[in-house]
Structure 1
Amino acid sequence: MVEADRKRPRRERKENADRRRRQLLDAACRSILAHGLAKTTLATVASEAELSQGVAAFYFKSKLGLLTEALRDLYQRYEDHWTASLERAGDEPAEKIRALIKADFHPDACGPDVLPLWYAFWGELRFQLQYDEVAEHFETRRRETLRVIWNELLPDDEVTSPDQMAEWMETLTDGYWQRLHLAPQGLSRKQAEQAAWGCLVRLVPELLGDTA
């Protein structure tokens, strides 16, 4: 199968490779949801993708390589999601913060097929350096984006720093994501969004209170 691909034109080979990588990354997520992270292997992923284990090994070399790329893809999809929300928001910093809160509680960010993936990987960050490096790469960009927006909102605030507000905002999201993951029957995504937003409005009512 792989040998046949080598005989195709370069563009077609790349399209086939991209398609197979996408198949395998999506299959890795399904395998984690079905079997858990520890029991996900190249074999379970290949089975989910309806490809041979040899094809999975060809593209990702090892289970760790495959799962590291699955985590990178999860973060990339999240980053694409919240940056797209920012682009659709207005120019006012308060509108950007509101857009980010809405994005964080959208199904694409924390739906029932997504939250278990986050927590599966986060439980392994301290044991797998590769996972930790992927997380830090994306989370650093996210923190810097939040810091810049909060700095626009609080340029001269001597009490609450933009860094502190960015940290609080992320802590709210993390906390409500955890509740949604552990006890989804007691909290909806919409309720979590409203609660997180309500907390930020209480912290800076003069800046966020009029934002819908």
Structure 2
Amino acid sequence: MTDATPRKPRKERKENAERRRRQLLDAARRSILTHGLAKTTLATVADEAGLSQGVAVFYFTSKSGLLTETLRDLYEGYENLWMRALEQTGDAPLDRLMALLDADFSAEACGPDVLPLWFAFWGELRFTGHYAEVAAEFDARRHRALSGIWAALLPESCRSDADQMAEWMESLTDGYWQRLHLAPESHDRMHALAASKLCLSRLVPELLPAPLA
């Protein structure tokens, strides 16, 4: 006897699986925004996605697996954002530095539906090894890219400071992200971007012209 039910082509099955996985990851983000990280479960995510809990279990096995992949997806989106910004910019180090800064304060990186996700996960990095591993992997690539730009921008005699400059710039961005998250009524992304550029211009005035008021 032959099976009367035709099997879907492999490409179609793969596309359906990727679409379902995307559906669950997006639902996980919404669940975290609604319920918080601790109260997000496979059940709340499945409910947000309009799917059965069994489907969520099939794709991610456990709550820990789902949330770890949600964090990885968040980092991948951010990495794609800043890498795209570099690809669309020329080779001039200053232009590349400003492109990264512009990307950091875009709505895609730190909008009101994104910042709560970052801080929800970052609050658990010390206690959840899987989260810390994901963060370290992406942060290392980001630091290398930023340090490389600073190395190209600084005079040869100061290139050993590139790592420090990259660290300061990341700390500056993190600080404004925290302000945007905790006090959105008194801070906005454009002000944070302008203030960050002004800070960098005063830190290395010989390299960065002061931005226009």
TM-score grouping bracket, smaller chain normalisation:
over 0.9
Q: CA shift at 1:89, angstroms?
A: 1.5
Once the two structures are overlaid, the 10-residue window that deviates more, 201-210 or 76-85, is 201-210
**Residue number in structure 2 paired with 1:106:** 106
SS of equivalent residue, structure 1 residue 48: helix
**How far apart in 1 are the matches of 2:137 and 2:131?**
10
Q: Deviations over 1:123-171 (max 9, x none)?
A: 0111110000000000000000011000001142349700110000000
Structure-2 separation of matches of 1:43 and 1:161: 49
**CA root-mean-square deviation:** 1.6
Following the alignment from structure 1 to structure 2, what is the Cα–Cα distance between the partners of residues 159 and 152? 8
1:90 maps to: 90
Instruction: Determine if contact 1:86/1:100 at 8 Å carries over to the other structure.
Output: yes
Aligned to 1:191: 191
Q: Counterparts of 1:209 and 1:160 in 2: how far apart (Å)?
A: 22
Question: The residue matched to 2:185 in structure 1 has which SS?
Answer: helix
Contact kept in structure 1, 2:197 and 2:211, CA below 8 Å: no
In structure 2, the partner of 1:126 is 126
- How many Å separate the matches in 2 of 1:42 and 1:176? 33
Query: Structure 2: where are the runs of 5+ without partners?
Result: 1-5
- Please report the TM-score for the alignment, with normalisation by the length of structure 2: 0.94
Query: Shift of residue 90 of structure 1?
Result: 2.1
Q: Distance in 1 between matches of 2:200 and 2:109?
A: 20
| Distance change >3 Å, CA 210–CA 201, structure 1 → 2 | closer
CA deviations on 1:7-27 (whole Å, 9 max, x unpaired) are 322111100100000000000
Whether contact under 8 Å (1:95, 1:211) holds in the other structure is no
Name stretches of at least 5 consecutive residues in structure 1 with no aligned partner: 1-5
**2:178 alignment partner AA:** Q
Structure 1 Cα separation of the partners of residues 50 and 164 of structure 2: 47
Question: Given the alignment of the two structures, is residue 50 of structure 1 paired with residue 50 of structure 2, yes or no?
Answer: yes
Which of 57-66 and 153-162 deviates more?
A: 153-162
Structure with the larger RCO, 1 or 2 (CA within 8 Å, 6+ apart): 1
Q: Which residue of 2 aligns with 1:76?
A: 76
User: SS of the counterpart of 1:127?
Assistant: coil
What amino acid sits opposite 1:139 in the alignment? D
**2:76 pairs with 1:67:** no
Distance 1:17 1:62 in 2: 17
Contact kept, 8 Å, 2:201 with 2:210, in 1: the verdict is: no
Distance 1:7 1:126 in 2: 46
CA contact (8 A) 2:151 2:159 kept: no
Instruction: Give 1:206 shift.
Output: 2.0
The Cα shift of 1:53 comes to: 0.3
Equivalent residue letter for 1:95: D
CA distance in 2, matches of 1:59, 1:155: 50
Question: What is the aligned partner in structure 2 of residue 3 from structure 1?
Answer: none
Give the conservation status (yes or no) of the 8 Å contact 1:98–1:211.
Answer: no
Question: Which residue of structure 1 lines up, in the alignment, with residue 3 of structure 2?
Answer: none
Asked if 1:18 corresponds to 2:22, the answer is no
Correspondence for 2:142: 142
CA distance in 2, matches of 1:87, 1:12: 31
Please tell me whether the aligned partners of residues 32 and 40 of structure 1 are also in contact (alpha carbons under 8 angstroms): yes
CA distance in 2, matches of 1:108, 1:158: 34
